[in-house]
Each structure stands twice: as structure tokens, then as C-alpha cells.
Structure 1
Amino acid sequence: MLVGVGKRQSRPWVVSDELWSLVEPLLPQPGPKRVEGRPRVPDRQALCGILFVPHTGIQWEYLPQELGFGSGMTCWRRLAAWNEAGVWDKLHLVLLRKLRSARQLDWSRAVIDSPRPGGTAGPKSGPSPVDRARPGSKHHILTDAQGIPLAVSLTGGNRNDVTELMPLLDKVPAVAGLVGRPRKRPALLFADRGYDHDKYREKVRMLGVRPVIARRGVPHGSGLGVYRWVVERTIAWFHGFRRLRIRWERRDDIHEAFLGLATCLITHRHIQRLC
């Protein structure tokens, strides 16, 4: 039995009752067992084991079974299956709805940035144009005005930041929670020089969003830092998960699953502050 589930703990991999009540309805029903054997590890305990990995950076095979998580392979398979079923995207939308219903989402502006984690593993990696062509990946992150993540994605390190601008805006879900239409677009979009391209400015305007993007070739200091610092803080939150700070997974879907899970956990922290 996993000790301490549901209580406020200093151990961040322990799943609270409140969080579990949001996750459980979204999980796919397990199929029938093909062969008799050990009882299936409960989903809640498997989720605790999954959370243990990004928080500690431990390898799957060294996951401590004495804590009740089940084996590393069990947790790995459960993570892959839940990611394929879109659990983290669904959970993120549920959390955003809760924030909007509490009027805690700030759509006045959104901020985008594309940090590059360490590590070279995985097909979605490529030679970085700013790091001696070393292979790697990029995390593309779009937040609201407070730094709450609205959309994230994973690409190769050689992907130009601006090419992921429109896909990331399109990935923002339509968030209900208040009377009227669900909200999907911010009023303004703030970005650094890496997104300086007039073609993309026009595309952003066509979505009804006003771009505020620093221009290349002007004296350093765009003045946008007073607004853009929130995404830098959110990047630090993401990279507080050790498995996102350095990419070890060769499979893109597993790294994307960690990225989606971290998005949900960061968003959930904002809900906890309301309590």
C-alpha cells in the first residue's frame, strides 16, 4: 500500500485526493488480462511511480518498488498508454476550465519562448544552430500573462522558433468556464527576436491577436522584458523536473508525455493557490 496518498506531503510524487479526483475519470479502462498472474497495480499507485521519475530523474529500472509503485516497466507502459489516450491534454483542459471559472486566466496577453533542454536522445532532435551543431530538442512554451502554460510542444533543436509560432497558437484549447463562448485567443502576443518575421506577424493578426515582437537589428533591450519574464519563470518550473532539464528518453512520445504531465502539474499548482 502506498503510504501518505491524499495527505499534504513534502514528497511531490504523492497524488492528492483532489488531483486524483480529476485524473481518474480521464484514464482509459484497462483491457482484460490475457494471462493470469500478479494483480494489476492500481492506477493511482502507478501514477505516483510515474511522477517519481521526472521529479527525481531516476532511471525506470531503478524505481523503488518498496514504495508501492510497481515495477518501472509497469509505470512506463502506463505512461505511454495514457499519453496515447490523450489523458494529459484532457486533464490540462479541465484545469484551465477551473482557472477560467475562477477568473484566474489572464487572456490580456500571451508570451512565447523556446528553451533547449540538455541531452541528445530521440528522433525529434537536430543540430542546434547556436550550439556548435550539437543535436538536441526544443521545448516550445506559450503562457498567459501570469505564466500559466496554455500550450507546449517538442521539436528538434534545429527548428527555427518562429516556425512553431502558429502551431502553438492553434494548440491552445478553447477554454469554457464562464458564460459565453469558450476563450481560445489572447489579446496580445509577446515574443523575442527569434520570432521576428513580418509574414508571421500578419498570420498572428489574422487570428485576431496583436503581435508584440522584438525586431532584429535594433539596439539591445526591446523593453518587453517587463512582460516576458513570466515565460522565463515558467521555463524554470518546467526544468525543475529533472527529466525535462535533460532529455534521456529516445522515444519522443515518452518525453512528450513528461512534458504534458509537467504542464498539468504546473497548472494544478495555480489552482492549489486558490484554496
Structure 2
Amino acid sequence: MVGRGELTDAVWERIATLLPGVDGRGRPWRDLPERYGSWQTVYERFARWEADGTWARLLEQVQVRDDSVGAVEWTVSVDSTINRAHQHAAGARKKGCPAGDELEDPACTTAGQALGRSRGGLTTKVHLACDGRGLPLAVVITPGNLNDSTVFGAVLDAVRVPRIGAGRPRRRPDAVLADKAYSSRAIRQMLRRRGIRAVIPERADQKANRVRRGQAGGRPPAFDRDLYKARNVVEHCFNRLKQFRAIATRFDKLAARYRAGLHLAALILWLREPRQDQLSDTA
């Protein structure tokens, strides 16, 4: 019997051929239910598949399959959320850093492991681009105290869905929806150069400055108010991702492990979405 949050046999069949071979090596990962076998082995497998890119490739492959049947909606919403880091997430040392309280040296640990000091303590910020259905297309993590707009280019660059057969991967959304935190001339110019429609409201201070300058301030940026209403899908996506306990609170010391967990959670969201070809078969 499948437990709450677990994948069905039908879903496992969809990804079975994409999974690499397994072996019996292992390390501690203590909270896994016993029915999954040795938690040492499961953790080691999780870590290996993070290191060799398996989790990222699995996510990419389900995106490819949906895009091949026209299911991906390329009106993309971008936003970020801050997740608290558990005290056990701190303390991973890089080579050459002294032992002890590494949090006193951000160059050694916190920033390097996507941990930042905010008013509420150590946090990690998850930057997300999702399609029009609210499914994750790209995930980038940074320290929690990093400004959203500085990471926008990295998030946009991470959107990449290969084609089945010949052709370049699709990297360009039809439109990008984002809130006022992303309202900057640099971001609007970036989207314009790439031929992507920007649906971003103008900040009040920017509008006041433009009006103050008169004709020199230029025209107000185009803004589709009706299309912007669809931006709430990214908030829904964050809510769904945070149903995974290890995403809502970061327990992993290593940024790479936490990112792999995000890829796995995003993969599960894609696998739970009804497939377009299946819907047409049952119609």
C-alpha cells in the first residue's frame, strides 16, 4: 500500500529506465522508514545521484516529455522564498578553513553553502521559475540575504528544456511574470534582448522619478495587468514544495544536498501532474 507522499507503481515505471544502477554502499540517514531498507545505503545513493547529476537529469526528462506533447506552458513566473535553516545545517567546513565556529567566517562556510544571516537567523533563499501550470522549470539557491534581482539572470539561464530529436533546447519563455522586486532597467533590457515579454509592475519610486524627469524620463514600461494575475502560480508552487519537510526547513549542511532535495521534490510535482497524452487517450 502506497503511503501519503509516496509515488505509485505507475509513476515509478515512468522513470525506471532513467535511474542508474545501484550498489550496497551506505552512510547514515536515520529517519527513513524501515520498509525502504538500510538508511545508510539510501543516503549514499542519494548523495551519489546528486554528485553525478541524476536528480537534475530526471527532472529534465519529465520536462522534456511534457514539452514534446505541448503540455508545458511557457508563460513563466519567477520569484523567491526564504527558508529557515535548522541549527544542524550549519557547520560544514571547506578545505583550508579552521575548525570551530565556522559561522564567524562566512567565506569559509555560510555563503559557500548558500546560508545567509537574516533577522530570523540562518536562511537559504530558493529562487524559482515555474511554467504556467505552476510546475518548476528551474531552481537556484543562494544565501537568504541576497537580493532577488541580482539572481534573476541565473534563474533565467537555468531554464532549459531539451527537444526530443533534433533541435536546440528551449530556453526562451514567451513571457516572464515577476513582482516589483524585479523591476529594474537591467532586467527589462535583458528580457528585451532575448525577445521575452516582460510582465513586471513598475515600482512607485521608479514611476515618481520618471514623472519628475518629464520627457527625459521616457515612457512607462508596458505592463499587462490581466496577464500578471497568473503570477500567483509561483506562490502555489512554493506552497507545494514546502509540503516537503526537508524543503520547508533546511536540514542539509551542504548546499548541493539541499539543491538535490529541491530537484527531487520538483520531480515529484511533475510526476503527479496528469500527462497530456494520457488525458487525450481518456477523452
How many Å apart are 1:256 and its aligned residue? 0.9
CA offsets, 1:93-150, max 9 Å, x none? 211122122221111x21001011122534311123xxx2632101111011221211
**Residue of structure 1 equivalent to 2:249:** 246
> Which residue type is aligned with residue 260 of structure 2?
A
> Which residue type is aligned with residue 137 of structure 2?
L
- 1:176–1:260 CA distance, 2 compared to 1 (3 A): same
User: Structure 1: any 5+ residue segments left out of the alignment?
Assistant: 32-39, 47-58
Separation (CA, whole Å) in 2 of partners of 1:12 and 1:146: 20
Residue among 75, 90, 93 paired with 2:42: 75
Report which of the two structures shows the higher radius of gyration computed on alpha carbons: 2
**Residue of structure 1 equivalent to 2:5:** 12
CA offsets, 1:210-245, max 9 Å, x none? 2222222269xx946512111111111100111111
Task: Please show how residues 43-54 of structure 1 align to structure 2 within 5 Å.
Answer: none
**Residue of structure 2 equivalent to 1:188:** 175
Separation (CA, whole Å) in 1 of partners of 2:22 and 2:240: 32
How many Å apart are 1:26 and its aligned residue? 3.0
> Which residue type is aligned with residue 102 of structure 1?
V
Task: Please show how residues 27-176 of structure 1 align to structure 2 within 5 Å.
Answer: 27-30=19-22, 40=24, 60-65=29-34, 67=35, 69-107=36-74, 109-120=75-86, 121-122=89-90, 123-128=113-118, 132=119, 134-176=121-163
> Which residue type is aligned with residue 190 of structure 1?
L
- Across the aligned residues of Structure 1 and Structure 2, the Cα RMSD in angstroms comes to 2.7
Separation (CA, whole Å) in 1 of partners of 2:251 and 2:196: 36
Separation (CA, whole Å) in 2 of partners of 1:83 and 1:259: 11
How many Å apart are 1:179 and its aligned residue? 8.4
How many Å apart are 1:153 and its aligned residue? 1.5
TM-score normalised over the length of structure 2: 0.74
> Would you say the 8 A contact 2:183–2:201 is kept in 1?
yes
Report sequence identity in percent.
Answer: 31
Q: Does 1:265 align with 2:268?
A: yes
> Would you say the 8 A contact 2:56–2:260 is kept in 1?
no
Separation (CA, whole Å) in 2 of partners of 1:60 and 1:166: 35
Aligned length: 235
